[in-house]
Amino acid sequence: MSSGPSEEIACNLCGSRDARLCYPSTLKASAPNTRDFRCTSSAYGIHPPIVRCNVCGLVYANPRWTAAQLNESYSVVQDPTYVEEREGRVLTFSRNLAPFEDLIAPNSATRRLLDVGCHIGVMVELAQQRGWEAWGVEPSVWASQQARQRGLHIITATLGDAELPREYFDVVTMWDVIEHLPDPLGELQHVWRILKPGGIVAIHTIDIESPFARLMGARWPWLMEMHLYYFSPRTLGKMLERAGFRVIRASAQGRYLRLGYLVTRLEPYSQPLYRLLSALVARFRLGSLALSVNFGDLFTLYARKV
């Protein structure tokens, strides 16, 4: 049995194999742990080797688990905590919907949106409520079933396997998804195919070049086993251009989290602080309080198909 990830890969942006090590592996498992592939996983600091391409600067995990191992992990993963944190996602995605309506043609009779990696379908449901014909694709059997139970149009598949119609959607969204994909450039090429001419792709991901990420270094919480790529607006913009898009804008954007959930994120760093704050939150019944959190290390980028 292998002692760790064994798939050596070239840079997904420029194809080079000339890369330098940024962070050595902290993995001890001989196979992926499905629990660490949950959206709400707190397995911070546990990751395969992370390298930076010496040609284009893209940061990625190398070597890593095979694509087959990763796809299997995502297909079987279950995440009940995500359901408990639904209200924070509703607030975040409600705020994120408005920019699409400013970027697509105002006279469009039918507005069609696809959310890639939609999980339990929060974005799909909110878009549907605002008059979109909204679809989702999601590899997790459990999460896609959760979404369909709410009457949503969800396909249990990856984007490449979903066989979606060409030039059908006005907007494709990818929230906290692209960093998990074995082949992000290939995924963006699929997005280009299914978008109408002039259509918009919106991508939210982590920013390895942000001041907070640089300050935290090896303790940056987003260095995790499930993250394969660590973009910045610069490297993601280059990849989008290679896939046939023109970048419109990119900006730092945080999210809403319930205070009770936010406190649980501290557990891997300090057990005493976690226990103290958990007790205070429970004592004053503040667990459901929603807070807007933004450390500047998450960004949203909008690009148009050209």
pLDDT band at 2 (very low <50, low <70, confident <90, very high): very low
Asked whether residue 29 is assigned to any structural domain, the reply reads: no
For 291, list phi and psi in degrees, rounded to 5: -120, 145
- Residue-level pLDDT at 285: 86
What tens digit of pLDDT does each residue of 18-43 get?
Answer: 999 999 999 988 889 899 999 989 89
Asked whether residue 28 is assigned to any structural domain, the reply reads: no
Q: How would you label 66-85 residue by residue, b for 16+ Cβ within 10 Å and e otherwise?
A: eeeebebbbbebbbeebeeb
CATH, residue 104:
3.40.50.150
Asked whether residue 266 is assigned to any structural domain, the reply reads: yes
Asked whether residue 56 is assigned to any structural domain, the reply reads: no
Asked whether residue 124 is assigned to any structural domain, the reply reads: yes
pTM value? 0.92
Structure tokens at 67: 């694509």
Asked whether residue 50 is assigned to any structural domain, the reply reads: no
Q: Which of 34-43, 55-64, 240-249 has the lowest mean pLDDT?
A: 34-43
What value, to the nearest 5°, has the Cα angle with vertex 85 and ends 116 and 122? 30
- Residue-level pLDDT at 146: 96
Asked whether residue 34 is assigned to any structural domain, the reply reads: no
What tens digit of pLDDT does each residue of 191-234 get?
Answer: 999 999 999 999 999 999 999 999 999 999 999 999 999 999 99
For 51, other C-beta atoms within 10 Å of its C-beta total 21
Q: How would you class 193 by CB atoms within 10 Å of its CB: exposed for 0-12, middle for 13-18, buried for 19 or more?
A: middle
- 224 forms beta bridges with none
> How many separate domains does the chain show?
1
For 277, other C-beta atoms within 10 Å of its C-beta total 19
Per 3-state DSSP, the chain is made up of helix, strand and coil in percentages (nearest 5) of 35, 25, 40
For 95, the domain range is 75-202+249-305
For 44, other C-beta atoms within 10 Å of its C-beta total 17
Asked whether residue 227 is assigned to any structural domain, the reply reads: no
